[in-house]
């Protein structure tokens, strides 16, 4: 076996921006045969299939029809986060491996269900947290885990997009639907990236969160206003007592030098790390202005090949799935792939906790919502029950107490 037959569920904006390059113009493309597509949106499905020559009999509105009619090895689920679970679980039941973009799911209930379905089927679940493949994150992880910097004490990360990312009035529209920023927050789109990267580096379980949301710029947009958050500050407390502030938003002026302005700092007991994520090394002065290009994330080479960690992250997942189906995947690598941390469980926990914090918050000033403290152990027990929560290393604690859970996470 030298190629994976891939069924793609959802061909909206994330496919347009990233995955079409992976499928057809990357070093990993020879490993992949895009065998079928399912998407209820006729325009998206037609665009993708016509562009890339997917036969009429391999185009479906419903993923269940695709699973029933086409021989596949793996399914990539590119749906909105809150509906990752259904197609993923159906695919596991059909004996297929599954790849999803970050985050694993919008809730810990769905994330847990996906992990359980994967383990029960004996197939692999791969989550494309592509920030993990950023060479700066990988280097920071190796150095921190060596003990070089001691214990994390405080971290500050930010990831701020230009307004055009969330503005339904911008032409062309960045996302697939004009109400995206009303149905989502910067937490689900951006905070998960930085939270996951931080957890990847320090290997600490989160125990409590509190979020503060700011709604100033989006409600003022015209002619279409957005009832959503411009920016969210998510404070996370970890098992060792360390705290992190992850500040994310999509409200910077469109004149900003980059679509995403980002960086991170970790202050530790024996040192400090500045990740300099906002300095990928390529700026241009052009008639359109001063702008930043990030070739580390996505690099368009002169022969048409697309490289960078945005491509290599899912590509490496597919390499491992192919090796597993060929019986050559190292068992230790397989075990690591299916661990709770690697599958983004703790990131989903922070995501749901932060959204819960804001949803029950109160207005403290015009356009400012102060969220409630959320104990993640209690949230997990409420969502999954005591036994399942304990499997992930948590127990119910008084709200906001942050009492460290006794077991270590799997």
Strand partners, 162: 252
Superfamily of domain 4-130+304-330 in the CATH hierarchy = NAD(P)-binding Rossmann-like Domain (3.40.50.720)
What is the tens place of the pLDDT at every residue in 340-359? Answer: 999 999 999 999 999 999 99
Q: Supply the pLDDT for residue 281.
A: 87
pTM listed for this prediction = 0.93
Cβ distance 254 to 147 under 8 Å? no
Q: Supply the pLDDT for residue 175.
A: 75
What does residue 361 show for φ and ψ, rounded to 5 degrees?
A: -80, 175
Instruction: Indicate the SS3 state at residue 284.
Output: strand
Neighbours of 376 (CB within 10 A): 27
Phi-psi region of 54 (alpha: psi -120 to 50; beta: other; left: phi over 0): beta
Domain assignments of the chain as residue spans, ordered by start? 4-130+304-330, 135-296+346-391
Phi-psi region of 241 (alpha: psi -120 to 50; beta: other; left: phi over 0): left
- Helices marked H in 203-362: 309-325, 331-337, 345-359
What is the tens place of the pLDDT at every residue in 303-331? Answer: 999 999 999 999 999 999 999 999 999 99
What is the tens place of the pLDDT at every residue in 121-142? Answer: 999 999 999 999 999 999 999 9
What does residue 2 show for φ and ψ, rounded to 5 degrees?
A: -125, 0
Cβ distance 199 to 206 under 8 Å? yes
Task: Tell me the CA distances in angstroms from 255 to 70, 162, 197, 408, one per residue in order.
Answer: 47, 8, 27, 46
Which CATH architecture fits 135-296+346-391?
2-Layer Sandwich (3.30)
Q: Is the pLDDT of residue 257 over 60?
A: yes
What is the tens place of the pLDDT at every residue in 43-62? Answer: 999 999 999 999 999 999 99
**Which residue would you say has higher pLDDT here, 277 or 395?**
277
Cβ distance 184 to 218 under 8 Å? no
Q: Supply the pLDDT for residue 332.
A: 98
Axis crossing angle, helix 376-384 with helix 108-121, rounded to the nearest 10: 60
Q: Supply the pLDDT for residue 407.
A: 39
């Amino acid at each position: 076996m030298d190629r994976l037959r891939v069924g793609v569920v959802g061909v909206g904006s994330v496919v347009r921006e990233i995955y079409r390059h992976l499928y057809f113009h990357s070093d990993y493309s020879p490993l992949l045969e895009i065998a079928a597509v399912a998407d209820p949106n006729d325009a998206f499905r037609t665009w993708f299939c016509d562009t890339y020559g997917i036969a009429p009999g391999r185009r479906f509105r419903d993923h269940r029809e695709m699973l029933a009619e086409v021989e596949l090895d793996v399914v990539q689920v590119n749906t909105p986060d809150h509906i990752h679970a259904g197609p993923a679980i159906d695919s596991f039941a059909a004996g297929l491996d599954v790849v999803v973009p970050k985050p694993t799911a919008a809730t810990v209930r769905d994330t847990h269900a996906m992990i359980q379905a994967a383990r029960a089927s004996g197939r692999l679940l791969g989550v494309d947290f592509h920030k993990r493949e950023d060479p700066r994150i990988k280097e920071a992880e190796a150095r921190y885990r060596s003990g070089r910097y001691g214990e994390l004490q405080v971290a500050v990360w930010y990831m701020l997009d230009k307004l055009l990312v969330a503005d339904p009035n911008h032409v062309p529209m960045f996302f697939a639907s004009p109400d995206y920023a009303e149905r989502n927050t910067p937490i689900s789109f951006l905070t998960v990236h930085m939270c996951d990267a931080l957890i990847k580096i320090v290997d600490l379980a989160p125990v409590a969160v509190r979020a503060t949301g700011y709604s100033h710029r989006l409600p003022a947009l015209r002619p279409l206003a957005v009832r959503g958050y411009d920016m969210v500050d998510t404070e996370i407390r970890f098992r060792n007592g360390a705290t992190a502030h992850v500040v994310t938003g999509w409200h910077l002026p469109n004149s900003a030098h980059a679509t995403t302005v980002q960086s991170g700092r970790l202050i530790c007991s024996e040192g400090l790390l500045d990740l300099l994520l906002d300095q990928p090394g390529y700026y241009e002065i052009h008639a359109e202005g001063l702008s930043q290009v990030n070739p580390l994330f996505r690099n368009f080479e002169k022969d048409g090949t697309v490289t960078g960690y945005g491509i290599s992250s899912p590509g490496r997942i597919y390499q491992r799935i192919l090796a597993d189906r060929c019986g050559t995947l190292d068992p230790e690598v397989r075990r690591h792939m299916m661990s709770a941390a690697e599958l983004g469980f703790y990131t989903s926990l922070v995501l749901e906790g932060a959204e819960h914090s804001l949803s029950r918050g109160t207005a403290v000033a015009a356009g400012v919502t102060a969220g409630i403290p959320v104990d993640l152990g209690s949230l997990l027990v409420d969502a999954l029950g005591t036994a399942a929560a304990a499997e992930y290393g948590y127990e119910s604690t008084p709200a906001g107490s942050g009492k460290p859970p006794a077991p270590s996470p799997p």
